[in-house]
Every structure is written in C-alpha cells, then in structure tokens.
Structure 1
Amino acid sequence: MTVHEERAATARRRPTMRLSTRIALAVGVLVPLLVIAAGTLVVRWVTADVTQRQDAALRQRADHLAPDARALLRAVENDRENAVRARENKLLDGALDLGVRVELPGGPVSAGPQPPPDVKLPDSRHRGPVTVRADGKAWRMVTRPLGAARGGAGTLRVFEPTTETDARTALLRRRVLVVAAFAVPISALAGLAVGAGATRSLRALGRRAAAIEPDDEARPDVHLPSGVAEVDDLGRTLAAVLGRYDTQTARTREALETARAFAATVDHELRGPLTGIRTDLDVLAAYPDLTPAERAEILGDLTAGQERILSLLASLRALAQGDLADEQAFERVDLGELAHEAARDARMRHPGADVVVSAPQEVRVDGLRPGLRLLLDNLIGNALVHGRGRGPDGAASIRIGVDIDAGGARIRVDDDGPGIPVERREEVFERFRRGSDSPGAGLGLTLVAQQVALHRGQVCVGTAPPGPGTRVEVLLPVRRPHEPTGETGEIRHDWLTREPAETAPQE
C-alpha cells in the first residue's frame, strides 16, 4: 500500500463530525463553564460585601458596648454587687441579638449566641473581626480590650452568627448551578443554530464544487462572495486550484493530442520513404547481377530515403516539442549572439557557403533559447538549400541582420536564390509544403512560424534587395507582453494536430 493509500485509509477510519455539531458541543460546554465561573465570582463578591457590612455593624456595636463593659469592670474591681448586677443588665440589654462575653478577673460574663466556653479564641490583641468556628457553626467576633484591673485585664468580645451570610451564599450557589444546568441544553441548541448558520456558506461552496464537471466549459463560478472572510478565502483558494487544474488538464489533453498526431503523422509520412527503401532492397535482393552503375543508383536512393526519414523524425520531434512549450521557461536571450552561433555552425556544415551576420547592437528578448536557435537554424538552412548563388560554383550567399527599432527586435535572412512567387509566400509555412527540388520534409518554415507564434511575433516573406532573392523577416517583441495579443488570447499548440490545409499563415 502506498503512502497516499495509507493516508486515505486512515482518513476513512477516523471518526468524523459535522462542524455545526462541533460548534454546538463547544458552546454547550463552554457556556455552562462560563456561567459557573462568573457565578463563583459573583458569590465571592456578594459574600465579601455582606461580610464587610456585617463587620462594620459589629465594630459599631462593639464600640457602643465598650463603655458599659468598662463600667462593669470598674464595678467588679470595687466589689459593689448591686452596681455589678446593674451594669450586667445594661450591657446585656444593649447587646440585643448579639453574643457578648466580658472576660473579667473574677470570671467571664456572657450572654447571647457565641461559641462554647471551651473553644479557644484568638488573643485579645487581635481586635478583629475574625471568624470563629465550632461544631459546624461560625461566628464573626470583634475584640475590645477594657484596660487593666486588680487581678488581671478585662476584655470585651462581641459575636454575631454568620448564619444569614452563609444562607445567602448557599442560595446564590444553588442559583448559579441551576442557571448552569439550564444553560447546557439552551446553549447547545443555540450553538447548533449558530453553527448551522455559520456553515451555510461552506455547504453552498461544497455543493458548487461537487457540481463541477471537468470538461464543462460553461460551469458556474465555484466562489461567490459570502461575507464570511474564511469562507471567501477558501473559495478563492479553491477557484485558484481549479484554475490550475484546468490549465494542467488542458496541457495534458494537448500533450495527448500531440502524441496521437505525432504517431499518426509519422505513420503517414514515413510510409512512402519506407516503401521506397523496401522496393530498393527487394531489387538488390532479386537482382544480384546488377551493374555497378545500377547498384550505385539504388544505394543512392536508399541513402536519400534514410536521410529524409531522419530529417522528418527530427522535424516532427521539434514540432511536437514546440506544441508543448511553456512560457514559464522564458529567459533573456541575446539574438545577436545566437545568430553568430547559428552562422558559425552553418559555415562548418557548408564550408563553401558565405554566411554573414550583421548585429551592430545588443538585442535581447524574452524567449526560449532552444526555440530561437531552432528558428535561426531553419531560416539559415532554408536559405542554404533554396538560395544557391548565380556564380559558377553555385555557393550560397546568406546575409543575416539583427537589429531593434520601435516595433521590436527584427531578424532578416536574405539569400540570392530565385525567390518565392508572391502567390506561394503564404503557404510556405504550412506543414509538408515543399518544392520538387527540396530535400527536406517540408517542415522547416513551419517550425519557424511555430516559434514566432510561441514568442508572439510576426513573420513574413519578401524579396531580398536588390535582386530576386528571398528575404524572410521575423519581428519579435522585446519583452513578453503581460496580455496576449492573439484573437483567442492563448498561444497556439496545434501545429502538429491541425490539418495542413487549416494552418493559418503568419504575416
């Protein structure tokens, strides 16, 4: 199993869940937690506020009872029994519902709600308020020192039960829990509704994407603005991916068509030369007693047929490569330097030819270096074949000019041959159009026209000044334009697949 298949199988085994369900679950869990957290803070704030008010009232009552407690301490110190009872009654009457404990040298005097006597209380130096707990109950206590007396110091302690504060706190906690319990289903339903609304644009995008057919040229746009930034970003990304997919699909289809056309053309064009070669071989086999002159003639025919087959295969391969060329491979190319290289190679192949290059200035264009070199080689090769000079040796004289003007970069190839009639100047760029004396496959100028179209240029045939020779002139843009200039807006990729009679001439 490949890595891709393993990933696909893992993705199928992984449990899936709708986005709206995920949102509902997230909201259903998050909202109650937020309610509990917020309720806990509110309970703490309310408890602190109630406790603060209780402590303020407790301090005030302790300060109010302190003078009576000091009077009681003085009465006990003076040992006046009637005064002691009177002070006790006044102190306890003033305490009302509070718990009061006066610690005297002779023993404590207490009344009201307060902790048991055996509960250890904080030191009298802690004036409070503090919380005292015993037997599951709690009191807030404030302490007031009464001063020194014979036998020890006196202390006033005032208590107030926290029952009311605890009850309010417990009630608030219960209410928070009730609200949290109701918030679970309500928030889940709300989250489901919100999730369904939020994913509506995604579902619409999914339906449009699922309705796309690969070969449907009139398909609707997969991306429609929804107002949701993330969905719009996803839609634009999907549209861009589909655009690249369409481009790649078109290129693949063109490549398949080119391959089929290449095979069909090779089969059609090679049938004649191969039949001739087979006939010559049959003659050689059937007549072993041929004269040397006849045998040499047959061998010459075999060599010419073999060269024609090689030339045809090389030209068809170059034509197929041109149909598959991509503008992404363009680079800056110096046409003058390329022309000198092509001329040097032509002089090496044809030592008697006069090939001269005139490139007075640097001319750089955006293009495919192999394609431009193929263009120059075929122009020079065509001129070498058809531009034989009128001198006694018949050597060709080729003049190549490379310059630049306001229209773009120009390449001119002139020869001294008989020239091309005006009525045939448009058809020389069609496939397999060759003269009776041409040794080639009739694809040289077709390759030139193909490369000119690929570089968004123009090519035309004229008369070389001042004689009857031929001038082929190519005009190329200095830089590749951002917008296509053809009628269809695209570069032609059908030079091998289109029938020869349909191939439009380049002007």
Structure 2
Amino acid sequence: MRLSTRIGLAVGCTVPLLVLASGWLLLQLVARDLHRAEDQHLRQRATALAPDARALLRATANGHPRAADTRERQLFSAALDVGVRVTGAGTDVSGGPRPGPSVTLPPRAAGPVTVRDGARRWRALSRSVRSSGAAGTLWVFAPDTADRAQVRLVRRRVLLTALLAAPLSGLLAWGVAGGASAPLRRLTRRTAGLDPRTSGVRLDHRPTGVREVDELAATVRTVLARYDEQAARTAEALDTARSFSSAAAHELRTPLTSMGTNLDILAGHPGLPGPERAEVVTDLRREHARLQGLLVMLRELGRGDLVEAEAFRAVDLSDLAEAAVAEARRGAPDADVRLDAPAGITVHGWPPGLRMLLDNLVGNALAHGRDERGRALVRVGVRGLPDHVSITVDDHGPGVPPDARGRVFERFLRGPDSTGSGLGLTLVAQQAALHRGSVTVVDGPDGVGARFEVRLPPDGGGLPGRRDWLIGTAGADRSQSFPKDRP
C-alpha cells in the first residue's frame, strides 16, 4: 500500500472519530449548562412556593377543607410554568406539568435529580416544609430541556458530519500526501537503477526542502560510500592474502629444500656418525625456527595491513615499553637492557602494533647490537615532546653504514650471516607508517653502535596511515645485503 493511501485511510478514520468525540463533548457541555439553568429556576420556584405549601399542610392538618382548597389553588397559581406536588400526613396534591402518578420519586435529595416517565425525562427538586406540627415534602418539576428536540437534532447533525468527514478528509489527505511524497518517489526512481556491483555511478541528489527526503538521500549516499569502502578493503584483503601466499611460497622454498635434503641424509644414512648426525639435526632445528619465525612475521605484517581505525585508542606508551623491556630481559638474561621512560606518556594508536614495534626494535638490538666481546648493552628511551613522542633504542654494536640505512627496512632483506626472517625492521617501519609516524637509524650515542628512533604524533594524526607493506613491497629485491649487524 502506498504511503499516500495509508495516510488517506488513517486520516479518513481519525477525523470522524475526532468529530464524534468533539460533538459528544459539546453535547455534554450544553446539557450541563441547560441543567444548571433549569436547576436554578427550580430552586427559585421552590423558594416561592414553600409558604403556600406550608399553609396547605397547616389547613389540612387543622381539618379546614375549604381553607385547604383555597391554599391548593393559590399553590397551583403560584407554580406558573413548573409542576408541583405536596405530600404529607393525609395530604397528596399535585398539579401542572409533572411525571405521572405511577412514577416513583427518589428519596428526598439535597439537589435536583432526573426522573423518567416513559420516554420523557423530568428534572425534580424536593424541599422539606413544616408548619405548626404539620410536616411534608414539596416537589417541583420541569421538563428536562437537555432532552428536547433541538438537542436531539444537534446530535443527529454531529453524526451526519462525522459520516461526511470520513470520505472527504480521506480524499483530501490522500491528495496532500501524494503531493508531499512526490520528492520521495523521485528519489526512489533515481536510486532504483543504482547497482554498486556493476557501476560506479552514485546518487546525485539535490535538496528538496523536505527534511525526511534529504536525510534519506544522505543515508543512501553514506551506505553507498561505506559499500565502496568495504569493497576496497575486501580487495585489499584479497591482495594481502595473495601476497602472503606468494611471499610465503617464495621464502619457504629454500628452507624447505634444505630441510628436505637433511631429512634425505638422515633417511639414507642410518649409520651416520654421531657428530655428523648432530650437525644435520642442528641444521633442521635452525631451518624450522626460521620457518616458524617467517610465518609469524608474515602474519603480523598482514594484520598491520588490515587493521581498522576502530582498533586505535589511547595507549600508555611508558607501560608498553616497560612490558617489552621486561620480556626482553627474561629472554636474554645475559643482556643489559635498561629503560628510561617517564610515566604517563600516551599516544593514540593500536596497542598490538606498538608492542610489535618495541619488541622488534629491542630484539634487533639484542641480536645484532652486541659489542666485540659479545656483550649486549641496550638502552630504550621514551620521551614526550611538544609535537611528537619519541622512542629510541640504542645498542653498542658495529652500527649501520650510511649507505645501507635507507634499505634496512625493506622486506626480506637480511645480512649474509643472519638467521632471521628479514621482516623485523619491516614490521617496525610498517607500524611507524600506520601510526602516521617515521623511523630512522643513525649512529649511536658518542658514535658507538646504532640508534633507531621512531617519532609518533600523540593524537594519531588521522589514523590509520599506509597499509600496503605486504602488497606494495612484494617485489622487493631480497638479493641485496648489508653488514651482519642488521637482519
């Protein structure tokens, strides 16, 4: 059912009910006003007739029939336009317009009441009268004007008006609603041909002045924009999955081949001497660890490429750095890892990503930042500056040559003796870019070792940032190498 038809039916049903309710209320108010006027008239007449009623009761009680007849005529003459009835001991006289003698009057009440005589209604007022030992009740009556023909006529006209209002108001509401919903029909026609799966055409809506229609158009545009965004994110996810499988297949080929060779040696030479067998097993364990680390790093790189803005929140970087340093101390008890981070330094970021950044920087320093004696001295610093938050990791290793500093963050780039995956520093660069920050490598303090510094905007800078590290660097040249102090 169309909206205009629904509105027409609703108005066509509601208006007659309103007319009936208003007519009923009007009739009640008119009846109350008429009763008030009648009751006031009855009280005035009862006050005027009370002396004659007392004289009539006194004459009857004293046994003076002629005087009683005279008082009765005087009572009826004074009654004028109302009916009257006097009842008492041995007395029951009535005259004028009144209910029939068969009508049972109610007990004496404090105010006027309504009594029925067949189809006719009367207003009745009782008044107690006493005189010289004689007591009785004076009743005065008047027709109930609220039930007169004029009031009944008004009632019929209200009903007729309600019957006529139903179709007329329905048709009028249908016409008005049809005109008001015209912008909505035009919007429906414009959106009916939109198919975001096959076309890039989007809704071109001009304001109509009808707030609901303009809000609906804005909602449709928002939904289509979200569809486009989700479609783009789905395409990115598919590209990331393809790149993940391609990179995994490429990088796993060499260690798997080496593991297969070692397994063939063990299977083909069951009598292999102990030292040689131990060497083969060691190679297998090393390649297994390399495969496991590579898969973990690729997974984390993929997570960073697919993270959504809803995952970012306020992060206490000092607490995060303290947790990363504590973990490094447990993993390398022979190393000297120290932290300089004032409490309460916060940034807007992705907590798992920032933890990966810290873990990989500290792990890189522990693995490749040892001095000539094999000692690892790592210093982690977190500082809050006016325009950014700085994370520094210093070591006392050989350092990074200036000509290699621009390439250390490339994917799968390893030193000649490195056993890592070549993705640790790539993850650091990814998270820095994701948080709209930067990462650089320079000489360490006093020219010894290397310093990795990450700078992050404290408010996030419109997160997230670049998210194509697994896709965009798929063609990185892994044949490049640099000194073994970096993975």
TM-score by length of 2: 0.69
* Residue 493 (structure 1) aligned with residue 467 (structure 2): yes
Among residues 316, 322, 325, which one is paired with 1:337 in the alignment? 322
What CA deviation, in whole Å up to 9, does each residue of 1:83-121 have, x standing for no partner? 97xx96x99899887767899999999876555556566
What residue is the counterpart of 1:42 in the other structure?
Answer: 26
- Of 401, 409, 413, which residue of structure 2 is paired with 1:420? 401
Evaluate the alpha carbon distance shift between residue 135 and residue 433 of structure 1 in structure 2; reply closer, same or farther with a 3 A threshold: closer
Equivalent-residue separation in structure 2 for 1:472 and 1:102 (angstroms): 119
- The reply to whether residue 347 of structure 1 matches residue 332 of structure 2 is yes
How much does 1:260 deviate? Answer: 2.6
2:469 partner SS: coil
Percent of pairs with identical residues:
44
C-alpha separation between the residues in 2 aligned to 1:35 and 1:137?
Answer: 28
Instruction: Letter of the 1:409 partner, please give it.
Output: S
Closer/same/farther in 2, CA of residues 277 and 164 from structure 1, 3 Å limit? closer
Change over 3 Å in CA distance of 1:296–1:32 after alignment to 2: closer
- The residue that corresponds to 1:4 in the other structure is none
Contact 1:205 1:223 in 2 (8 A): no
- Separation of aligned partners in 2, 1:65 and 1:418: 128
The equivalent position to 1:270 in structure 2, one of 237, 252, 276, is: 252
- SS of alignment partner, residue 383 of structure 2: strand
Separation in structure 1 between the aligned mates of residue 42 and residue 412 of structure 2, nearest angstrom: 116
CA distance in 2, matches of 1:269, 1:415: 31
Alpha-carbon distance in 2 for matches of 1:145, 1:396: 123
The 2-side partners of 1:360 and 1:178 are apart by 87
Structure 1 residue 208 displacement after superposition = 8.0
Summarize the Cα distance change of 1:183–1:388 in structure 2 as closer, same or farther, 3 Å threshold: same
What is the aligned counterpart of 2:451 among 471, 476, 483? 471
1:218-237 correspondence to structure 2 within 5 Å: 219-220=202-203
Equivalent in 422, 430, 435 of residue 450 of structure 1:
430
Answer with 131-140 or 61-70: which moved more: 61-70
**Distance in 2, Cα, partners of 1:362 & 1:154:** 102
Counterpart-to-counterpart distance in 2, 1:192 and 1:37: 23
Task: Show CA shifts across 1:436-485 (max 9, x none).
Answer: 343333222211211222333211122335457443322234x343x42x
Range with bigger deviation, 320-329 or 92-101 = 92-101
Structure 1 residue identity aligned to 2:413 = R
Give 2:167's aligned residue: 185
- 2:122 & 2:339 partners in 1: Cα distance? 113
Paired letter, 2:437: G
| Superposition deviation, residue 183 in structure 1 | 2.4
| 2:379 corresponds to | 400
- Contact 1:342-1:373 at 8 Å conserved across structures: no
Report what 1:134 is aligned to.
117
| 1:176 partnered with 2:158 | yes
SS of 2:317's equivalent in the other structure is strand
Q: CA distance change for structure 1 residues 128 and 364 in 2, over 3 Å: closer, same or farther?
A: closer
Amino acid at match of 1:344: R
Number of residue-to-residue matches in the alignment:
467
Report the Cα distance in structure 2 between the residues aligned to 1:248 and 1:458, rounded to whole angstroms: 28
Aligned to 2:416: 436
Query: In 1, distance between residues paired with 2:327 and 2:130?
Result: 122
SS in 2 for 1:441: coil
Seen in structure 2, the aligned counterparts of structure 1 residues 403 and 147 have a Cα distance that, compared at 3 Å, is closer
**Residue 421 of structure 2: SS of its match in structure 1?**
coil
Give, in whole Å, the separation in 1 of the partners of 2:415 and 2:307: 29
Name the CA shift for 1:267/1:168 in 2 (closer, same or farther; >3 Å).
Answer: same
What letter corresponds to residue 340 of structure 1 in structure 2?
V
- Contiguous gaps of at least 5 residues in structure 1: 1-16
Q: Which of 269, 280, 293 is equivalent to 1:311? A: 293
SS in 1 for 2:29: helix
Q: State the shift of 1:384 in Å.
A: 5.2
Q: CA separation in 2, counterparts of 1:59 and 1:357?
A: 107
Q: Secondary structure at the match of 2:468?
A: coil
Whether the 8 Å contact between 1:346 and 1:355 is mirrored in structure 2 is: no
- Kindly indicate whether the alpha-carbon contact (under 8 Å) linking 2:317 and 2:345 is maintained by their aligned counterparts in 1: yes
Matches of 1:271 and 1:426 in 2, distance apart?
28
Equivalent-residue separation in structure 2 for 1:238 and 1:336 (angstroms): 45
Against the structure 1 CA distance between its residues 142 and 380, is the aligned structure 2 distance closer, same or farther, given a 3 Å change threshold? Answer: closer
**TM-score, normalised to structure 1's length?**
0.67
CA deviations on 1:389-446 (whole Å, 9 max, x unpaired) are 4x4x5x2654424142524223132343263242x32222111223434333322221
Q: Cα offset for 1:21?
A: 5.2
* Equivalent residues in 2 for 1:182-331, closer than 5 Å: 182-192=164-174, 211=194, 213=196, 219-220=202-203, 253-278=235-260, 305-325=287-307, 327-328=311-312, 331=315
The letter of the residue matching 2:423 is L
Q: Which deviates further from its counterpart, 55-64 or 260-269?
A: 55-64
Report the CA distance shift for 1:113/1:440 in structure 2 as closer, same or farther (over 3 A).
Answer: closer
Cα offsets for 1:185-234 (capped at 9, x unmatched)? 234345545666777787788778875737987744999797658x8888
- For the 8 Å contact 2:369–2:398, the answer to whether it is kept is yes
Q: Distance in 2 between matches of 1:202 and 1:408?
A: 52
1:330 to 1:222, Cα distance in 2 relative to 1, 3 A: farther
Q: CA deviation at 1:269?
A: 1.8
**CA-CA distance at 1:296 after TM superposition:** 8.2
Separation of aligned partners in 2, 1:359 and 1:28: 78
**Which whole-Å CA distance do the structure 2 matches of 1:295 and 1:476 have between them?**
50
Indicate if the aligned counterparts of 1:20 and 1:192 stay in contact, CA closer than 8 A: yes
